[in-house]
Structure 1
Amino acid sequence: MTVIVTDDKTTGTGAGTGADPEVLVVPVTRAYRFELVKLVSQWRIRLLVLACWTAPGLFVAAVSQQSTLPTDTLFGRWMHATGWAGPLVVLGFAGSWALPLLTSVVAGDVFAAEDRLGTWRHLLVAVRSARRIFAAKALASLTVVLLLVAGLLGSSTVGGLLAVGDQPLVGLDGHLLTSSDALRNVLLAWACALAPTLALAAIGLLGSVVLRRSPMGLLLPALVAVAMQLAQMLPLPVALRLALPGYAFIAWHGLFTGPAHSRELLISVAVSLVWVVVVTALAHQLFVRRDFTNATDDGIGRRVLAVAVLPPVGLLALAFGAVAVATPSLGSGITQDKVQRSVATAFAHLYRLQTEQLHRPAVTEAQLRVTAACDRSDGQADPEGPGNDWRCVVSWHLPGAAAPGTAVYQLDVTSDGRIEADGDGPKDVNGYFLVRTPTGDAPNPLWQFDGDVELVPTSQNG
């Protein structure tokens, strides 16, 4: 029997028979339930759901009880201090590795599985519409991806709060976020990370449609994520960084500064959502135009690959041009003035925190008048751009003191604007990881701290 699929109906012709009468198509909701049951009945999907809803919480609880912390991970140094650091540490790891792999397993195989099993004919006869099949599979994949993301967020949050407690969170500029503010920002950060996750899922759908039986369709989202990570390590223009569909995995950092670096975050989320719409629409068009009557067609050909590759490349170029026009950001976005301002702001906030630890008289940022003088390679290199050769001398004033205080920091400024500051003396300020308080030794907030450079400034003078 030959199966012919039209926009909203399927007709069948058999040997020795006339055309079958037209029949009603299956509703999308029924096809969606069927596809969702097919997905969650797979042992690997069930295993992923179990892992996402348990492993992050156990990991956060275990690390929070260790004597050493992942200080090289954003918010890792605060996992002893508050339970809200846990879900942010998990989000940083998930954006780099977990979410790309999850979208590969779920979305990268949803169409290819039918090709390997040879079940397209039965599915088309049952549903009678290629468009409804695509919608059902895409929605089922989206549901499973959302379930996995919710598990990562919920498990890591519960694990952190049970292990450490509901204390305020220190932001990237050193200011304290109350428990309610921390909860809101953690939820916003994970919500923003959904946009690039869905972009990778759309790429997975496209790969599954185009590559069919090939295992490359299953690996495509993960490979794209690795390529984007490598690109973020290069000295790319800011506009090109923001044009990549995965930059929102990084841009959520701006939520934890005061004021928030919202412009960069909004642009990256909008770009990711545009990628979701365009790539999903491309996958849909390629799927509904497929010739299902040719069982030997594996879908891999020059024309198919060109049709699938050229639009995303064009979208990247278009997004780069649009961001470059909207925000004049063709450089690295990292300048001497921005680094100095970020270091001075973080130091002022954390100095007050250290003052409170030591039960010294309270001071304000206005009284401290903190300034930072930063350069690169002892003045031998231009003070701009990423690098681990930044050095800052921080100065501040205490009420009643005749001379200002000074402290030295060695900086590692990454391409995405993250600052890792390592104290280099004096010992009683930032030269040791503990401070002696009236109640015993406590972690020194000025020993090492993180900062964030606003690559795309919200203000005109930023």
Structure 2
Amino acid sequence: MTATALTLEDDNVAIRVHPVSVARSYRFELVKLISQWRIRLLVLACWIAPALFVAAVSQQSTLPSDTLFGRWMHATGWAGPLVILGFSGTWALPLLTSVVAGDVFASEDRLGTWRHLLVAVRSPRRIFAAKALAALTVILLMVVGLAVSGVAGGLLSVGNHPLVGLDGHLLAPSDAAGQVFLAWACALAPTLALAGIGLIGSVALGRSPMGLLLPALVALAMQLAQMLPLPVAVRVSLPGYAFISWNGLFAGPQQLAPLLIGIAVSLVWAVLATVLAYLLFLRRDFTNLVSATSGRRAFAAGFLPLAALVGATIAVVGVSTPSMGSGITKAKVDRSLAVEFAHLYRMQTRELNRPAVTEAQLRVSAACAKGDDNVPDEGSGNDWRCVVSWHLPGVQVTGQAIYQLDITADGRFVADGDGPKEVNGYFLVRTPQGDAPNPLWQFDGNVELLHSTPKG
């Protein structure tokens, strides 16, 4: 199928009929998408719902502490949009891409309007470009709405205050703002990958509801894979890993290697999936109104190359980085916990109006072990037990605190204080201004999976 001009002869006068431009087709497809009530409702929800959610949760006494940065929603307005980002990467963005990209071609099959569209535009290539660009525009509008709405709700309800990073250090409001928007920008890459998968499903499966559900199902499969004890090379080779690895932006030093690999993999997936959808679209038989494409052959042509891409990426990452294990070792856990405890101990010192100390003076160290003596000290699990030791200037006795760690397969951990009570055994501390949250009681941290970062 080519975009050649047609020549019509009427009363010996030749009239050349040119295909409609991509710009005009794009505007037409964008108007068609926006005119759908469900798309309008979703766009409106993306621009309003996050702000209302963040504002409502920030006023509650119970916070979503099981969500990354959820325990800080009372302290700063920059925690709310990160909670929204975590939820969006897991549920909202896969569903949104399904509704938009997974239906942009299938809607023509359901309505039986392909012949009219081909006669009007006279170029399948331009039709594909216009529909893909229109779907991308709507998806970007939704992502921007989620980010802006979450930030607005957090700042208006809580305020522009510093944010506690995943290593316990304080991010100034300006730094927190930059990192929050950068994290949302990084989430665009896996969103585009899911959108490309949605285009394949919409083209290959036509009016079948499986085409509409395909991005959500692929995202769910990748989430389940991230929960399994897979090698790091397999994790970062899946496009959904960029929905997780943005948390490395909030560590010090920043853990950029997993994030950059995840973004690169996602963009390659997005390009390859879009090209495959384009090739499938050009091979479609638009004269068959019953079955727009041969299902099995189209599915194989669309997804076997993506499966091959996963294998190639695993091989490249496995060879270029020492990442065929879990990436979670005793040395990394000890270092991550010690660094974060030192930062949070200084925060607690300021709350209690005690003499200021530095990390160098504290000389914090951690000794962690997983399970009993018969279990190797590596890998994820909720059976990590750690003893943190520190020194105070002028005090001969070494301070010690106990923590129970629950480390997930992606390197995130929750440290739960287990005494002594005056340090980390209770969720409140008594300050001169009254009771305040104890920063050492429970906190989130992150273990860098790809390689160990030396102390800075």
Shift, 1:296, TM fit: 2.9
Seen in structure 2, the aligned counterparts of structure 1 residues 256 and 461 have a Cα distance that, compared at 3 Å, is closer
Seen in structure 2, the aligned counterparts of structure 1 residues 233 and 135 have a Cα distance that, compared at 3 Å, is same
Percent of pairs with identical residues: 71
1:223 is aligned to 2:217: yes
Question: SS of the residue aligned with 1:51?
Answer: helix
Question: SS of the residue aligned with 1:247?
Answer: helix
1:408 is aligned to 2:411: no
Instruction: Give the aligned partner of residue 52 of structure 1.
Output: 46
Question: Mapping of 1:6-405 within 5 angstroms?
Answer: 6-9=1-4, 22-405=16-399
Question: SS of the residue aligned with 1:252?
Answer: helix
Seen in structure 2, the aligned counterparts of structure 1 residues 270 and 136 have a Cα distance that, compared at 3 Å, is same
5+ residue gaps, structure 1, are: 1-5, 14-19
Does the 8 Å CA contact 1:9/1:22 hold for their aligned counterparts? no
Shift, 1:293, TM fit: 2.2
1:450 is aligned to 2:434: no
Question: SS of the residue aligned with 1:389?
Answer: strand
Task: Give, as a single letter, the amino acid of the residue that structure 2 aligns with 1:419.
Answer: F
2-structure distance, mates of 1:379, 1:78:
36
Does the 8 Å CA contact 2:284/2:292 hold for their aligned counterparts? no
Task: Give, as a single letter, the amino acid of the residue that structure 1 aligns with 2:74.
Answer: H
1-structure distance, mates of 2:92, 2:302:
25
2-structure distance, mates of 1:395, 1:12:
85
Does the 8 Å CA contact 1:10/1:125 hold for their aligned counterparts? no
Shift, 1:323, TM fit: 1.2
Cα RMSD (Å)? 1.7
Shift, 1:289, TM fit: 1.7
2-structure distance, mates of 1:21, 1:460:
73
User: Bigger CA drift: 243-252 or 299-308?
Assistant: 299-308
Shift, 1:436, TM fit: 0.3
Deviations 1:35-54 (A, max 9, x none): 00000000000000111111
Instruction: Give the aligned partner of residue 3 of structure 1.
Output: none
Question: SS of the residue aligned with 1:378?
Answer: coil
Does the 8 Å CA contact 1:245/1:268 hold for their aligned counterparts? yes
Question: SS of the residue aligned with 1:246?
Answer: helix
Does the 8 Å CA contact 1:31/1:132 hold for their aligned counterparts? yes
User: Bigger CA drift: 315-324 or 298-307?
Assistant: 298-307
Seen in structure 2, the aligned counterparts of structure 1 residues 64 and 459 have a Cα distance that, compared at 3 Å, is closer
1-structure distance, mates of 2:263, 2:377:
30
Instruction: Give the aligned partner of residue 11 of structure 2.
Output: none
Question: SS of the residue aligned with 2:53?
Answer: helix
Task: Give, as a single letter, the amino acid of the residue that structure 2 aligns with 1:198.
Answer: L
Does the 8 Å CA contact 2:327/2:449 hold for their aligned counterparts? yes
Does the 8 Å CA contact 1:237/1:329 hold for their aligned counterparts? yes
Task: Give, as a single letter, the amino acid of the residue that structure 2 aligns with 1:190.
Answer: W
2-structure distance, mates of 1:300, 1:42:
29
Shift, 1:460, TM fit: 8.8
1-structure distance, mates of 2:208, 2:333:
47
1-structure distance, mates of 2:118, 2:292:
18
Task: Give, as a single letter, the amino acid of the residue that structure 2 aligns with 1:40.
Answer: I
Task: Give, as a single letter, the amino acid of the residue that structure 2 aligns with 1:9.
Answer: T
